[in-house]
Amino acid sequence: MTPPVELAPPPPAPTGPPFAAVPTTSAPGSLHVRLVGALATGDCDALRGAPALDRRDRFLSLLSVYDLHTAPLEQIGDTVRFQGHPGVAELKSRLEAEWLGELERSWQGAGRLAEATTPERAAAAMRSVAARDRLPAAYKWLAKDAGWFEVVDFLALEGGPDGGFDDLVSTCQIGLSGSAKLELAQNYWDEMGNGDPAAVHTRLHDDLVAAVQMPQVPRSAMPVEALERAALGGLLATNRWLQPEMLGALGLLELQAGPRCRLVLQAFDRLGAPEGAYPFYVEHAEVDPRHGKDWVEKAVGPLVAERPDWGPRIVKGAWWRSTVNLAFFQALHAHLTEGQNQENSAA
């Protein structure tokens, strides 16, 4: 797909967050506020047993903890010293136990997908999970009906199909060997632009952000569904025992990204997006279908052949990602279409 030629540039993107109704600061006395203060002062023992006010407070707190493990050091500074503090570890474990209970309850509706103890069953189950919400209504609306501002707002929260994916893949391959290790290495090298700095996927996303003047939405302005979606990678990456689930969650992303990116490109064509907006989504529309196929055949299949008990867990991770994704896209679609309808009514 090629960019449109000689089209007038779209209007500049709005500077405000798309979810303006969401509070822009944590509530006084919230666990997140207490956590930030404890990390600043070093008094992390005060976090023991401190409850989250609600699910939003839980995910804001967990994301701050995950930052200690995965965020750039220049971003988190000296607070990284408290990554393994007993008070932080207790808080992390307790909040994750509550969340894992919710995720496990969602898995109870997966039915026979839990029987994926052979490579063939695991592959079929992964593809079945990917098919259930491969093209959410939000992406179809984006391709056909969304205005330019809605497209930019949508993409600002979507974060690209692989926000942080390269780091997650590098973490996921620890301890693997054989075909699975090689497949994740190839996938990572593709994320690195196959050695071309200008083609590194995070660089392509930076180019997209500049081309469409995309606003950066702070966590404080994100809906709880977006926070949970962002936190899932941290949950999987910081708990080694969840490596099978991580393989499934990342594999699902690869299986679904290609068709979704093609719908984003349709929106770009329809609205006359600037040329610099295209490369990131063109790249994923073209390569992710191959990545998804190879992930299932060269990573999941061989691993399940060696370790049949991993099969249901890999599929479970895909189910978790699918469930969290679907809630996010439904909330985002509802918010943006509501705003669009209000604008149309006012006009």
What is the per-residue pLDDT for 337? 85
What is the per-residue pLDDT for 24? 44
Number of structural domains (the chain) is 2
Same domain for 55 and 132, yes or no, is no
Same domain for 55 and 166, yes or no, is no
Q: Which range has the worst mean pLDDT, 8-12, 200-204, 206-210, 246-250?
A: 8-12
Residue where a domain terminates, one of 79, 109, 139:
109
Residue where a domain terminates, one of 109, 135, 159:
109
Mean predicted lDDT score pLDDT of the chain: 89
* Segment 40-90, tens digit of pLDDT: 999 999 999 999 999 999 999 999 999 999 999 999 999 999 999 999 999
Q: Is the pLDDT of residue 162 over 90?
A: no
The 3-state secondary structure of the chain, one letter per residue = CCCCCCCCCCCCCCCCCCCCCCCCCCCCCCHHHHHHHHHHHCCHHHHCCCCCCCHHHHHHHHHHHHHHHHCCHHHHHHHHHHCCCHHHHHHHHHHHHHHHHHHHHHHHHHHHHHHCCCHHHHHHHHHHHHHHCCCCHHHHHHHHCCCHHHHHHHHHHHCCCCCCHHHHHHHHCCCCCHHHHHHHHHHHHHHCHHHCHHHCHHHHHHHHHHHHCCCCCCHHHCCHHHHHHHHHHHHHHCCHHHHHHHHHHHHHHHHHHHHHHHHHHHHHHHHCCCHHHHHHHHHHHHHHHHHHHHHHHHHHHHHHHHCCCHHHHHHHHHHHHHHHHHHHHHHHHHHHHHHHHHHHHHC
Tell me the CATH number at 159: 1.20.910.10
Same domain for 284 and 163, yes or no, is yes
Assigned domain for 35 exists: yes
Same domain for 214 and 309, yes or no, is yes
Assigned domain for 310 exists: yes
What is the per-residue pLDDT for 164? 84
CB 294 within 8 A of CB 30: no
Higher pLDDT among residues 90 and 287, named by residue: 90
22 band by pLDDT with thresholds 50, 70 and 90: very low
**Domain boundaries, position 74:** 26-109
Residue 277 to residue 283: CA distance in whole angstroms: 11
Residue where a domain terminates, one of 109, 139, 163:
109
Same domain for 104 and 125, yes or no, is no
Percent of the chain at pLDDT above 90? Answer: 80
What is the per-residue pLDDT for 97? 97
Residue 303 to residue 178: CA distance in whole angstroms: 9
Q: Is the pLDDT of residue 1 over 60?
A: no
Assigned domain for 1 exists: no
Same domain for 211 and 342, yes or no, is yes
What is the per-residue pLDDT for 96? 98
341 band by pLDDT with thresholds 50, 70 and 90: low
What is the per-residue pLDDT for 274? 96
Higher pLDDT among residues 10 and 249, named by residue: 249
Same domain for 224 and 301, yes or no, is yes
Give Cβ neighbours of residue 245 (< 8 Å, ≥ 6 apart): 236, 313, 314, 316, 317, 320
pTM of the model: 0.89
Average pLDDT over residues 248-258: 95
Assigned domain for 9 exists: no
Assigned domain for 14 exists: no
Assigned domain for 50 exists: yes
Same domain for 60 and 179, yes or no, is no
Same domain for 105 and 136, yes or no, is no
Assigned domain for 155 exists: yes
Same domain for 268 and 183, yes or no, is yes
Same domain for 227 and 160, yes or no, is yes
Higher pLDDT among residues 164 and 24, named by residue: 164
Q: Is the pLDDT of residue 279 over 80?
A: yes
Percent of the chain at pLDDT above 70? Answer: 88
Residue 138 to residue 326: CA distance in whole angstroms: 10
What is the gyration radius of the CA atoms in the chain, in angstroms? 20
Same domain for 90 and 128, yes or no, is no
Q: Is the pLDDT of residue 160 over 80?
A: no
Assigned domain for 99 exists: yes
